[in-house]
Structure 1
C-alpha cells in the first residue's frame, strides 16, 4: 500500500477545530467528516491521536479511523482507479467532488501506513487493535474495490494490503508470535488463508534470497508460527467461509477450489524447505510434518528428498523423520530399500536420553509389527536392543524388556534366542557384532539374549521382575508398551515411595557400637586402640 506523498496537504475551504483528547471528541470529528466535506481536514486531528505516545489515545484513534474509512469505503467516497498525485490533482481541472475523493483516498493510504507501523509497536494492545483495523479495511476493500483488477486472477481481492500486513508480521528482528496467534482468527476465512499463503511465499523469496550471513532466527520463528496457524480444509465442501461477499464470487475463482488451496499450501512449504534452516527449525517441522503437512499436499512425494536427507542426518532429526517416511512408504508406495538398515543403526545409547524417545519407540514398534519381516532382521533388532539394555536407565528398561518380549511373540522362530542350547552351561564368545551396520551380517541368530539373564539381577526390582518373565513361557497376548513410553524417573521414585507406608527394616539386629569385634568381619579386621 503506497503511502501518501504529503500528509500535511489540506483540502481548501474547510473548517478546522482544535482537538481535545477525549473519546467523545474523536467520535464527533468522525461524524462531522462523514456529514460534510467541509470537515475533511479534521482527519488530521485524528491522525495526531494515532501518533500519540499514550496507548489509550492510540487505541481510540484506531477505532475512529476504522469507523471513518470503512464508512467512506462503503459509501464509495474514496477515489476509484489509479490514484493521481495529490498536489497536482487538487490544482487540476477535477471537480470538487473528485478532489474530495482523491484527498480522502490519500488520507486512507496514510492511515494504512501508520497502522502498519503500529504492528511493530512496543505495546501489544496497540498492535492488536491496528491489526484488527487493517483487516477491517481489507474486508471493506474486498467488498468495495478501489481499483479494477483482473477478475480472472484475484476478483478485486485486496492482495496488496494483505501482503503489507504479512510483511510486518514476519519481522526480521522482533518476535511476533503473540500477534500472529491473534491473526489466526482471520486465517479462518478461506479466501484470506488462500492469499496469505501466497504472500508468505513471496516474502520468503524476497527475504531469504538476500539473507546470506545474517541472523534469521527471529524471522524464521515468525514464519513458522504463521505457517503453523494455517489449518487446511479436508474437503472442498468445507470452503464456505469467505471474507468476500457471496454475490461477488465467481465460479472460476481460485480461492473456492480445494486443489488451488493445496497448490498454494505446497508451494509455501516447499518454498521454506528449499533454504538451509537451523536444526531446531528442522525438528519443529518434522514433528508436525506427517500430521499437519503431508495430508494437504497435492504431491506428497515431493517431500522424499527432504525426508531422506533428514533421515541421513542422524540423532533426533532422523528419529523425527521416521513418521513422515513411514506415511510415504505406507500410503504413497515410496520405495526405500535401506529403511530398516538405517533404522537399525539408529539404535544407539543416546536414544534413551533424547526428547523424542517415546515417539521413537512407538514408531519402532509400528515398523516391526509386520509378520512378513525376515527372521534375521527381527533377531538383529531384538539382540541389539538387548545389548543396549545393559546401558539403559530403569525407565528405558521397562520399555525395552516388554518390547523384546513382543518381538518374540510375533515371531516364534526367535525363541531360539531365549533357549540357546549350551548357552547357560559354558562361557563362550558372543558371535554378535554390535558395530556391524548390516543387520544380515551382525550374527544375531547365532547368539542368545544372555543380556536378559543379566538384567534379572538388576538393582531395580521392577526391572528384575520384568526380566524374570522370560524364564516362563511367554503368553500369546502382547504387552501394551504405549502406557510405558512416557514413564519418567520421578514417577518411578514416587511409585516406590508410595508402595508401603511401613518402616523398612535395614538390619535384623540392632547395632550397639560402630565395630563389633565378636560378630562383625569389619570389626575383626580393624582394631581401634
Structure 2
C-alpha cells in the first residue's frame, strides 16, 4: 500500500519530485507501481503514465545499471542504479500484464508505453554497444502478448501501424512473428490439434501480418528512418550534452558515427516464407479466408520462393464462385502472367463472373479494377473483348443506376483499347433485342457472336432519367470516339450518395415550371376538387 505521505499526492506531483532528486525520492517508484493494481481505471492509467515518465527520465540520464568504475561495484550509487534496473524490469512485466486488463484504454496505454520505452532504451541503451543493437528480446515478448491465443487484441495491433512504417521495427517484428508461428505450430503439432487453433489467435495474427508490408527489391517505396534513430526529443538532447563529459570519462569512446539500418531483404523474405505457408495451414473462417485471398497477391507472392505452390489454393478458391472467385482473380492472374501458369479457361471463368449480382457484392470496386487490368492485354483476341463489351452492355439494363456510369465508361475504354470494336457502335443492322445475334446464354466468350452485334443497350440509356447516365451514353451518337481512356478509379466506389451530392451541386435556372396552372395557394387550383375536399 502507498504510504499516507505519498497517497495524498497525485502521480504527476510524485514524478516531478522524483525528477528533482531521484536519489532521495527513489521509493516513489514503488509507490507508483502499487497504484497499478488499483481497481480504479483512472488511477491505473495515471500510474502507467507516471512510470513511463520516470523510466524515460532514468534512461535519458543513463542511470539504470550504470557502473562507476572509480567507486567500485558496492558503492551506494552503483547499487542504486542496479536497483533501478530491477524496478525497470518489474515495471515492464506489470505493463505486459496490463495488456490483458478488462479496460481497452488501459491496454492501449500500456502497449504505447512499452513501445516508447523500447524506443527510448534503443536510443539510450542500458549496455552501450558500438554496433547497431535493437531490443529484439523485448519486442518479441510484446508481439507474443499482442498475438494472444485467448484475448482479442486487434485494437492493439492497430496501434503498431505507426511503428511498422520504420524499417528496423518492421524487420524485427517479422522475426518475432516468425517465432510466434513456429512456437504455435510446434505446440499444436505435438498434440495433433492444429485444426483446433482458436479463432482469436488467427484474428490477431492475420491482422498483424496484413500490416507487414515489405517492399520488394527495386521498389520505389520511400524508406522511413529506423525507429531507434528518429530525432530524439529536446529533453534527450539536453541530457546528452549534460552528461557528455561524464560519459567520456567512464566509457570507451564510440567510433564510426551513428550506425544506420537497412532492411536485410533476404532475411525478411525468409521470414515471409515461414509465416504465410503457416497461415495457409491453419483453419480459416470465411471472413479470414477472404482477407487472406486479398492479402496474398500484394504482401506475399512477390516474396515467396515458390509462388506456384499456391496454384491449388487459388484454383480451388476461383472455382468456388461468388465473392470468393472475385477475390481469387488477382492471384490466378499473377500466376498466369508472371509465373507461366497454363490456364486457358481464365477468361471463360472471368466472363462467367459478370452477373447482375456482381454489382451488389462488397468487393465490387476491386473486381472491376482487376477486370480492367485483365482486359488490357494486347494479345487478347478482339472477338473475346467483344463478348465482354456486349456482356457489360446487356448488364447495364439490369444494373443499379449508380453503377451505370462505371459500366458505360468501362465499355468506352474497351472500344478505345480495341479499335476494331468501333463497328459495334455504328452497326445499324441491329437496333433491338429481336434481331440481335448475340447469344447471352453461351458460356464460352469465343462463341457468343458478340462481334456481329451492336451497342443498342447503351443507346437505350441515352433516355435514362439520370442526366449523368444519359450524358455518358451520348458517345454512341458521335462519329469519333475519344482518344484517351477514362480513369475508372473515381467511378468504382460511386454509390447513390455520391450521385446525390453531385446532383445537388448542379446549378439550374430559376423559374422552371413544374405545372401548367399557377396555384393560388395550397390545394387552391381552379376547376379542381382538392379545394372542395380539404380546408386549411
Equivalent positions of 1:317-396 (< 5 A) are 317-396=324-403
Q: Do residues 51 (structure 1) and 40 (structure 2) align?
A: no
Q: Do residues 441 (structure 1) and 418 (structure 2) align?
A: no
Residues 244 and 385 from structure 1, CA distance in 2 versus in 1: closer, same or farther, beyond 3 angstroms?
A: closer
After TM superposition, give the deviation of residue 277 of structure 1 in Å: 2.5
Higher Cα Rg, which structure: 1
- Choose the corresponding residue for 1:260, options 267, 271, 293: 267
After TM superposition, give the deviation of residue 263 of structure 1 in Å: 2.1
| Unpaired runs of at least 5, structure 2 | 69-73, 231-252, 519-524, 531-536
Higher mean Cα deviation, 435-444 or 475-484? 475-484
Does the aligned pair in 2 maintain the 1:347–1:385 contact within 8 Å? yes
After TM superposition, give the deviation of residue 32 of structure 1 in Å: 8.3
- Choose the corresponding residue for 2:109, options 128, 143, 152: 128
| Unpaired runs of at least 5, structure 1 | 1-7, 9-15, 78-94, 147-153, 516-529
After TM superposition, give the deviation of residue 414 of structure 1 in Å: 3.3
Equivalent positions of 1:27-426 (< 5 A) are 44-52=30-38, 53=40, 54=43, 55-64=45-54, 67=57, 71=62, 73-75=64-66, 109-121=89-101, 122=103, 124=105, 127-129=108-110, 131-133=112-114, 136=117, 140=121, 158-172=135-149, 174-206=151-183, 209=188, 212=195, 216=199, 218-232=200-214, 241=226, 243=228, 257-287=264-294, 289-295=296-302, 303-418=310-425, 422-424=429-431
Name 2:514's counterpart in structure 1: 505
Structure 2: distance between partners of 1:140 and 1:494: 51
Structure 1, residues 31-71: CA drift from partner, whole Å, max 9, x if none? 98868xxx998865453233334132343244435556885
Does the aligned pair in 1 maintain the 2:64–2:85 contact within 8 Å? no
Does the aligned pair in 2 maintain the 1:46–1:64 contact within 8 Å? no
Does the aligned pair in 1 maintain the 2:301–2:307 contact within 8 Å? yes
Structure 2: distance between partners of 1:405 and 1:508: 44
> TM-score, normalised on structure 1?
0.70
After TM superposition, give the deviation of residue 386 of structure 1 in Å: 1.9
Residues 30 and 441 from structure 1, CA distance in 2 versus in 1: closer, same or farther, beyond 3 angstroms?
A: same
Residues 294 and 44 from structure 1, CA distance in 2 versus in 1: closer, same or farther, beyond 3 angstroms?
A: same
After TM superposition, give the deviation of residue 344 of structure 1 in Å: 0.9
Structure 1: distance between partners of 2:415 and 2:149: 54
Structure 2: distance between partners of 1:447 and 1:169: 59
Does the aligned pair in 1 maintain the 2:174–2:271 contact within 8 Å? yes
Q: Tell me the secondary structure at the aligned position of residue 197 of structure 1.
A: helix
Structure 1: distance between partners of 2:432 and 2:322: 39
After TM superposition, give the deviation of residue 260 of structure 1 in Å: 1.1
After TM superposition, give the deviation of residue 350 of structure 1 in Å: 1.3
Does the aligned pair in 2 maintain the 1:65–1:111 contact within 8 Å? no
| Root-mean-square deviation over aligned CA pairs | 4.9
Residues 426 and 272 from structure 1, CA distance in 2 versus in 1: closer, same or farther, beyond 3 angstroms?
A: closer
Residues 68 and 405 from structure 1, CA distance in 2 versus in 1: closer, same or farther, beyond 3 angstroms?
A: closer
Q: Tell me the secondary structure at the aligned position of residue 313 of structure 1.
A: coil
Residues 45 and 334 from structure 1, CA distance in 2 versus in 1: closer, same or farther, beyond 3 angstroms?
A: same
Q: Tell me the secondary structure at the aligned position of residue 20 of structure 1.
A: helix
Structure 2: distance between partners of 1:300 and 1:254: 29
Structure 2: distance between partners of 1:234 and 1:424: 52
Structure 1: distance between partners of 2:432 and 2:325: 41
Q: Tell me the secondary structure at the aligned position of residue 370 of structure 1.
A: coil
